[in-house]
Amino acid sequence: MKSDRIKKGIERAPHRSLLKAIGYTDEELERPLVGVCNAKNEIIPGHIHLGTITDAVKAGIRSAGGTPIEFPSIGVCDGIAMGHEGMKFSLASRELIADSIETMAQAHCFDALVLVPNCDKIVPGMIMGAARVNVPTVLVSGGPMLPGRIDGHDADLNTLFEAVGKVHSGAMSEAELGRCEDLACPGCGSCSGMFTANSMNCLAEILGLGLPGNGTIPAVYAERIRLAKAAGAAVMRALEKDIKPRDLLTERQFRNALALDMALGCSTNSMLHLPAIAHEAGIELDLSLANEIAARTPNLCHLAPSGPHHVNQLHEAGGVFAIVRQLLKKGLMDAGAPTVTGKTIGEIAALAPEADGVVIRRIEDPYSERGGIAVLGGNLAPDRAVVKRAAVLPGMLKHKGPARVFDSEDAANVAVLSGKIRSGDVVVIRYEGPRGGPGMREMLEATSALAGMGHDADVALITDGRFSGATRGAAIGHVSPEAAAGGPIALVREGDIVSIDIDSGLLELEVSDAELAERRAAWKPREPNVKSGWLARYAAMVSSAASGAVLSPLAAPAPGRS
């Protein structure tokens, strides 16, 4: 066992003494040592109950003959970090989480790992760390929040962001806003729609690291605690069979994950996280593959913000593997792909229920024949951009309008909330990419305000930043190359005509090549927004969004940085 390096032989008597100082017995030290990474904190609502989940994991490990050893992880709540400088730390935190798991697991020679995340960048960060360490690993999340109820209708965090826009437009009073504030988020768990956390927790099932139900069992159900105990026992079986993350994180698994992504209508943030996880597993995941898979994979679910359903209803309808069962009917997934359970994707899906036709559409009756995410190209995004197609109104799949250009999210938010954006406009927010932000902030405040004012039907927004999974409308993010790297988005001027054709995969600036060349010659790099601390290091090392915004010592510095 790997842990023998710290507990076997006379030379390790000092190490054993330190472990005994914690209270471990000789019997416990004879067993495999399983690191349990608990992301619990008191600032993220999806994490406040993770102590209970982690205790259940540890019970499962002990029942199967292992010794659990708990350690922590940091985390950022994207909802609380939204709309201010704190959001610059969200995507960057993914790298710190991966680094910390690698550090803890390697320094202490754990034989296996169980990861207990929830919310936003914690899930992909933990999986990235597991891919580096490559010891048997199971991921079990804290589960989704139940939706709130307001006047007989389901509500969620996005209800609040859109309500802010309604207040500014005069469609809602501040008293009504306060009532929504009290009711929309009823308790613990990751926000209840198909936002980033729930997207990644569902995808973890198909990547093979999460047990069935990981992405959909509500946080407050006893079933979630039973799943955590099962995860603890499962990691011991994986250790016995030597099933490691890189045995699971293969090209076939990522193809399966993209197929589920398209059928489920996941957050566009998955287009950052899947390439980043693949990178850690030694695989290059080109975003062009997403369009290839989207072209043949129908969209079967419209969960919030794309539709009225929430993740608890997806669970009641059979969860992730009920969707997989539909996709396998037309050979749209690789049924033989393995999982940490020892069973294949196909074997698990065979036990799933038939689609209900409401929350999960049948393969013969999809919402659309194309998947829920589209990757765009064109002269405004030579290295591609991403949009959640399933959340775009049909009338906005093709749009042309004048650019309203802002060099920061903050400036754009002021313009939106003060009513300066008009029907037909294309809002361009730049210098918010991985380097330029730095940190590639989410734009939920701007998109939700536009939706709350009714502009999701007539205004598009494009950015080299990114969007929350809660975003709806013609919101196109991840425009690459970013402005800070001299990408074409840096050359857009107020009033330029921007043409969007999502079905054709095009994002074009209707300016001649000669004019663009002239603008490029006159363009000068901006001074970095941050010159010290973690974000300055991040900006100097981060790659393009097109490759997952991963850190690399070989990443070319942004213009103007040494």
CB neighbours of residue 281 within 10 Å: 23
Residue in 90, 448, 468, 547 annotated catalytic: 468
- Around Cβ 358, how many Cβ atoms within 10 Å? 10
- Rounded Cα–Cα distance for residues 305 and 467 (Å): 12
- Taking the alpha carbons at both ends of the chain, their separation in whole angstroms is 45
Closest CA to 299 of 329, 264, 334, 270: 264
468 is catalytic: yes
SS3 at position 477: strand
Could you give the CA distance from residue 548 to residue 446 in angstroms, rounded to a whole number?
23
Asked if 3 contacts 32 with a C-beta cutoff of 8 angstroms, the reply is: yes
Count Cβ neighbours within 10 Å for each residue of 220-256 and write b for 16 or more, e otherwise. Answer: bbeebbebbbbbbbbbbebbeeebbbebbbbeebbbb
Give the Cα separation of 268 and 374 in Å (integer). Answer: 9
DSSP state of 344: B
Closest-CA residue to 502 (of 326, 222, 355, 291): 291
DSSP strand pairing (497-501 vs 398-406) = antiparallel
Give the residue numbers marked as catalytic.
Answer: 468
